[in-house]
Every structure is written in C-alpha cells, then in structure tokens.
Chains A and B, each alone.
Chain A
C-alpha cells in the first residue's frame, strides 16, 4: 500500500493526496505541467516536496513538516521503486541484458543467477532474443520492454510509469496494455501511471486522480469520475461535453442564459442562490419529435455520423447553449432527424449532477448567484 500526502508552495505548487493498494493501478491525469510527473518523481525520491509524508507498506520513505523540517528522506536507491521513464532512459553503452542486470548489481544472487534472472525478465517481456542488442538497435516498443524489465528486475515495492504509452505507435501500445494487464495480476504491488490520455486511464486504471495546477482535485473510480465530477474544473478536464452553469436554490436549478428550471436533488451541501456548474450524462437525455410537458425545444445544428454512432449538436432555442447527444445511427433515422430539424429534449432532473465551480480548498468555492 502506497500512501502519499505532500504539499509545497514553491518552486511549483503541489498539493497531492493519494493512496494506492497492492495490485491496484492508479492513474494520475491532468494537463501538461499540472504536476503529474513531479508527483511521480517525488514518490521515487528524485525530487523532494517541502512537507508531507510518503509511506509504502508501512515504511516511511519521506516525512517532513514545517516545525521539524525533514525527518526522514530515503534516497531513490533505498526506496525500491520500479520507475519507467517516458523516454525509457536506457543505458546506451549496455546491451538489453546488461541494462536489466544493473538493478541486480547489489542483489545477493551470484553472477550466473543474476544473468538468468535478467534473461528471465526479458523473456517475460517477450524479447528474450534481443538480449544482446544495444538500445540504439531496438525499436521504441522494444526499448520500452527492456526499460520495463529493468524497472521490475529489482522486485520493487511499487511500479511508477511516466507516460509510458506516449512515444509508441498504436499497435505497440495495444501490446503494452496487455503486458501491463498481465503484470498487474502477477506482481501484486501498487502501480501508479501518469498519463494525459483519459481514455487510457479509463481503460487501465482502478482509480484516477485528476491533477490541475499541482493540486489533486478528485480521486475516484473512472465511472464515478465521469458521472459525478467533484467540480466544474474536473468536469472540464475529464472532457465532459454537456457542462453548463446555473444558479441553485432550494432544490431548483436555473440554467444560466436559458429560461429553464429543473428540480434537482442534492445532499444539502450547496448554499442558497449559489452559482454552480452542472452536468448531465447521456442517459439523462431523451429526444423527441413532438413537444412534451417538460421538454425544451431545440434545433439539430450538426450531425456527425461515425459508423454506427452519431454525435448530434442540439441548439437550445432562445439560448446560446448546445447539448451534445450521442445516439445510434438507427435512432437518428427513426427520428427523421436532419440538420435544421425541430426537436424536443427532455432532461431528467434526477440525473443532473450539480457541483461547485471551484475546488473544495478554494475560498471562492461558492459564489452567490445574486
């Protein structure tokens, strides 16, 4: 189990909390420069936070507070992290086998045993026959497998992966996804993955932490994150398309810039007349040809058909807002929908998720809408 709680104001602001259990894959996502890689480097001991605590399997790797300063700070060599660098960082003067032998340098095994172990790791990565090649004689994907074998050869207590899939082509990436999935089952250690690709995080991770400007905004399972983002910035970062603003008062949400009010349930945490952000998942939308009592008129402004899937932009009438509706191509046909068609949208209030505009630690979290 990896537990991390770090914070600092300078040189880069960092305020991250995360926990990752053995066998879990935890993804850190966020835009470039948000602090994902800094967090990973701090875990490995390659950078140091001002204050905080990093624990792995009950062992304190780093501890510092404002009063006492640094209490404990193990060196990267003492921490037992497998670290996969974005550009692999293979030792260019050593063969693949020699690269994997480096982490075994200080092991208790005899030289022949070490060689067998290193060769075994290359075998597990599917590149046993490339053992005597040098990094410059390997493709990007092969280099990455050597780097992964090197990261794991020491039997680390955690595995840290820094954007591992960004520099390889799509087919290689698919192969690496599978390798990672297999390893996860076998290794049973916490794995922390940094990525800017949400689809990848959704595909691979058990839990995702969204980081922005050095602050961890939300940690949740992928499904929860996409359906119930904690605030408007998280919704933006995870790419939720139907994100709007409004004013919430006593169970009623008034849509900004649109004469429309919905009855919405909340946990009573949001003060009266607060400016809020809100999202509605695709399940909460139903589209009709004819008006109903609670429907909102809209015009089909754009229809993009991608194979069996259609993405439709519906322009709400008398408003600046567009709602994105993803449907099957046959559904679009059934509704006789064409660009310019008059449609009627029903938004299910029970599915609307409202949230503050800013993170929980921001004093401007709720702004009075009046």
Chain B
C-alpha cells in the first residue's frame, strides 16, 4: 500500500477543509445580501463543477507557473495542489452552506433583530447553529472530493512522490504499470473513506442533532 500517497491525500484534504470552511461560510453568508450580481457570482463559484479538470488545470498551471504572489512558482509543489484543491472545491464548500443559510426563516432573523442582537451576535448565536448541518455537509463533500480529485492535481502537481502524488494519482500510476492489485487496494480504500464520510454526514451528524435536542429537552 502506498502510505506516502495516503498520508499526502489526507494532509491535502485536511488543509483544504481548514482553509475553505471559514471562507465558504463567509462567502455563503455574503451571498444572502447580493441582489443583481448574485447570479454572476454564483455562476463564477460554480464554474469548477462544469469546467473540464484539464481546462481548470491548464489555467492554474499558467497562473501558478511563473512568479506568483509569493514570489516563487507554485506548480509541482504541495502549496500548488492545495491552491488547486481550494479552487476546485469552492462549489462543494459554498453551495450546501448557502442553501442552509437561505433555508432559515427570515422572521427568525427579524426576531433576533428586535431582540436587540447585533449582526455579529445574530450570526454567531442564530445563523451559524441553524446552518450547522449545511456546514457539516460542505465539510464531508469537500473532504471526500479532495481525496478523489485527479485531473487538476495531475495538471498542477504532476506526480511527485511525497509532494504531489495523491492516492488517485497513485491508482492511475499503478494501473499504468499493470499493478492492478495495488490499484485495487487503494481504490477500495478511497471507496471506503468516501462511503464512511457521506454516511457520517447523513446519519451520525443528522441524528446527533436530533438526539441532542431530545436529550436536552
């Protein structure tokens, strides 16, 4: 089993989660206040869903290849694939959180306003807890999707062992070199992790909220 690739994929998925979730919450909440520009912003954020990974990968390769804002090229490095992963995951992180915020009854927010809460207090005490399931879904989707991301990572990172060679790229490499049993083991691992992650989001997180309510009630 390719432990390096597994550890790298987990590291990438965790870093992506840590960086994208606060950003996703911020963007999803900001979208509530937009009117005319909203369809355009939403379209831009959903682009990674419909663009072929090679097209996105090509632009990132060009964009991150020369001197970047950090003064050094970022392609073929962990930082490069992390940036690629963040961009690719934007729709997976933002959309569930946005739907969760939109599902909050506006009267509840108004009730918080007339109760004297500031906007920050409303966000912290009312909106964030009510959008919690959307945030959980976003986290699970982002995590599972990052583990499985292939095209963009290959374009931006190549397949440098320990640096940019993630599990899905390792599977591809193994198939290319006719190591089908190795590829099968890794594929099974990804399948298992993805299934567990989604089952957790559907079952345990969903149940825990209602159980918590019951217990506290």
- Contact of A11 with B by CB under 8 A: no
Chain B at the A interface: SS class: helix
Q: In the bound complex, what is the Cα–Cα distance between A81 and B111 (angstroms)?
A: 11
- Contact of A325 with B by CB under 8 A: no
Interchain CB contact under 8 A, B217 and A95 = yes
CB distance from B33 to the nearest CB of A (A): 16
Interchain CB contact under 8 A, A102 and B113 = no
Interface residues of B in 106-157 (CB under 8 A from A): 107-108, 110-118, 121, 125-126, 129-130
- Contact of B36 with A by CB under 8 A: no
Interface residues of B in 191-217 (CB under 8 A from A): 213, 216-217
Interchain CB contact under 8 A, B113 and A134 = no
Interchain CB contact under 8 A, A103 and B116 = yes
From A83, A85, A102, B117 is in contact (CB under 8 Å) with A102
CB distance from B172 to the nearest CB of A (A): 44
Interchain CB contact under 8 A, A105 and B114 = no
Chain A residues within 8 Å of chain B by Cβ, number: 31
CB neighbours of B107 from chain A (8 A): 85, 87, 89
Counting chain B residues whose Cβ lies within 8 A of the other chain, the interface size class is 20 to 34
Known A80-B116, A134-B216; contact A89-B105, beta-carbon cutoff 8 A: yes
Interchain CB contact under 8 A, B217 and A77 = no
Known A95-B217, A105-B116; contact A89-B111, beta-carbon cutoff 8 A: yes
Interchain CB contact under 8 A, B116 and A106 = yes
Interchain CB contact under 8 A, A77 and B118 = yes
Q: In the bound complex, what is the Cα–Cα distance between A90 and B110 (angstroms)?
A: 11
Q: Which residue of B has the minimal Cβ distance to A136?
A: B213
Interchain CB contact under 8 A, B114 and A77 = yes
Interchain CB contact under 8 A, B114 and A102 = no
Known A92-B130, A93-B129, A105-B125; contact A46-B114, beta-carbon cutoff 8 A: yes
Known A95-B217, A132-B217; contact A89-B110, beta-carbon cutoff 8 A: yes
* A positions within 8 Å CB-CB of B: 44-46, 75-77, 79-83, 85, 87, 89-93, 95, 102-103, 105-106, 132-134, 136-137, 150-151, 154
